C-alpha cells in the first residue's frame, strides 16, 4: 500500500516537473522577446532558429573587398540556416553577458530587426535566437520605394525603440541611434559578401506607411531597411 502511494507521488512529481520545465522554457523565450521589445498579440508563432555557423565564411579582408550594394535580386527564398547566420552576424548575442556582434551606444541595444518576407512579418529575438511571427501578411511592397523590394525574398527593417535610448542629449540621441543601426547594416553587408548574397541598405522608405502596416508603437522609429537575397 505504502509502495503504491510512493509510486503515485513520484509520478505526480515527475509530471509536475515536466510541466514546469516546459513552462519555464516558454517563459524564457517570452522573457527574451519582451526584453527585445516584442509584444505578444495573442499567441504568435515562435520559430527557434538553427544555431548560427560561427566558424565559416570568407576571411574578413576578402569579404571587405567584395562588399557592395546590389539591387538585382532573385525571388528564391533564403534557407532558415542562412537567415540564422545572417541575423546572428547582424546583431546576435556573442557574449555570455548578452552583448552583441555590433556595438550600441551605452549598450542601449535599442535596434530591433524585423524580417519582411512572403510568409509574413517576424521579429528577431537575439537572446533566444528565434523569430516571432507578428503577421501572416506579405508586406514586402511597403518596405521601400524601389521596385525590387516586392519580389526580393527578405527585407530587414531596423526599428529603434527610442524609449531604450536614455541618458544622451537630444542631439546625440538620434545620431547615436543612427550610428548603432549603421554598424548592424555593415555586419549584414559583410555577411552577404561572405555568403555570396546580394544586399543593399535603404533609406528610401515611406516610414509612416510602413510603421502603420507593421503596427509599430509610437516609441518605435524606423531607421533603415536592408534587402538581402540571391543575385539574379
Residue 232 within binding range of ligand FMN, rule CB under 6 A: no
- C-alpha angle 137-149-208 in degrees, rounded to nearest 5: 70
Judged by CB under 6 A, the chain residues 124 through 163 that form the site for ligand FMN are: 146
Residue 201 within binding range of ligand FMN, rule CB under 6 A: yes
Q: Which is closer to ligand FMN, CB of 49 or CB of 184? A: 184
Residue 51 within binding range of ligand FMN, rule CB under 6 A: no
Stretch that binds ligand FMN, among 14-22, 23-31, 83-91, 198-206 (CB under 6 A): 198-206
Residue 204 within binding range of ligand FMN, rule CB under 6 A: yes
- C-alpha angle 37-40-45 in degrees, rounded to nearest 5: 110
Where b means 16+ CB within 10 Å and e means fewer, 88-99 reads bbbbbbeeeeee
Grid cell digits, residue 219: 516609441
Q: Rounded to the nearest whole angstrom, what is the least distance from the CB of residue 219 to ligand FMN in the complex?
A: 22
Determine which residue in the list 6, 13, 28, 68 makes contact with ligand FMN, applying CB under 6 A. 68
Stretch that binds ligand FMN, among 92-100, 123-131, 197-205, 214-222 (CB under 6 A): 197-205
Q: Which is closer to ligand FMN, CB of 11 or CB of 66? A: 66
Q: Are 177 and 223 in contact (CB under 8 A)?
A: yes
Question: CA–CA separation, 157 vs 144, rounded Å?
Answer: 10
Question: CA–CA separation, 149 vs 51, rounded Å?
Answer: 28
Residue 105 within binding range of ligand FMN, rule CB under 6 A: no
Q: Give residue for cell 509520478.
A: 11
- Which contiguous run of DSSP H or E holds residue 184? helix 170-195
Q: From 31, 67, 68, 64, select the one nearest 46 (Cα to Cα).
A: 31
Residue 202 within binding range of ligand FMN, rule CB under 6 A: yes
Residue 177 within binding range of ligand FMN, rule CB under 6 A: no
Determine which residue in the list 69, 136, 212, 219 makes contact with ligand FMN, applying CB under 6 A. 69
Q: Rounded to the nearest whole angstrom, what is the least distance from the CB of residue 71 to ligand FMN in the complex?
A: 6
Determine which residue in the list 139, 156, 190, 200 makes contact with ligand FMN, applying CB under 6 A. 200
Which region holds residue 103: left if phi is over 0, alpha if psi is between -120 and 50, else beta? beta
Sheet containing 154-161, strands listed edge to edge, beginning at the edge strand earlier in sequence: 46-48, 130-135, 120-125, 111-117, 154-161, 220-229, 198-202
Residue 175 within binding range of ligand FMN, rule CB under 6 A: no
Q: Rounded to the nearest whole angstrom, what is the least distance from the CB of residue 30 to ligand FMN in the complex?
A: 34
Residues forming the site for ligand FMN (CB under 6 A): 68-69, 71, 146, 200-204, 224
Amino acid at each position: 500500500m505504502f509502495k503504491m502511494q510512493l509510486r503515485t507521488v513520484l509520478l505526480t512529481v515527475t509530471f509536475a516537473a515536466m510541466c514546469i520545465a516546459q513552462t519555464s522554457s516558454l517563459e524564457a523565450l517570452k522573457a527574451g522577446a519582451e526584453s527585445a521589445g516584442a509584444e505578444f498579440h495573442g499567441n504568435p508563432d515562435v520559430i527557434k532558429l538553427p544555431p548560427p555557423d560561427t566558424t565559416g565564411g570568407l576571411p574578413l579582408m576578402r569579404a571587405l573587398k567584395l562588399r557592395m550594394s546590389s539591387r538585382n535580386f532573385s525571388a528564391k527564398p533564403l534557407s532558415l540556416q542562412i537567415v540564422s547566420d545572417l541575423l546572428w552576424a547582424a546583431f546576435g548575442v556573442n557574449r555570455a553577458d548578452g552583448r552583441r556582434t555590433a556595438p550600441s551606444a551605452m549598450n542601449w541595444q535599442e535596434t530591433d530587426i524585423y524580417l519582411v518576407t512572403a510568409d509574413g512579418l517576424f521579429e528577431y529575438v537575439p537572446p533566444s535566437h528565434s523569430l516571432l511571427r507578428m503577421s501572416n501578411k506579405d508586406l514586402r511592397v511597403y518596405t521601400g520605394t524601389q521596385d525590387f523590394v516586392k519580389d526580393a525574398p527578405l527585407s530587414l527593417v531596423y526599428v529603434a525603440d527610442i524609449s531604450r535610448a536614455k541618458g544622451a542629449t537630444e542631439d546625440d540621441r538620434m545620431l547615436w541611434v543612427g550610428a548603432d543601426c549603421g554598424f548592424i547594416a555593415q555586419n549584414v553587408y559583410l555577411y552577404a559578401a561572405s555568403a555570396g548574397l546580394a544586399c543593399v541598405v535603404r533609406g528610401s522608405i515611406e516610414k509612416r506607411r510602413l510603421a502603420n502596416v507593421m503596427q509599430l508603437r509610437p516609441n518605435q522609429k524606423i531607421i533603415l531597411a536592408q534587402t538581402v537575397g540571391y543575385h539574379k
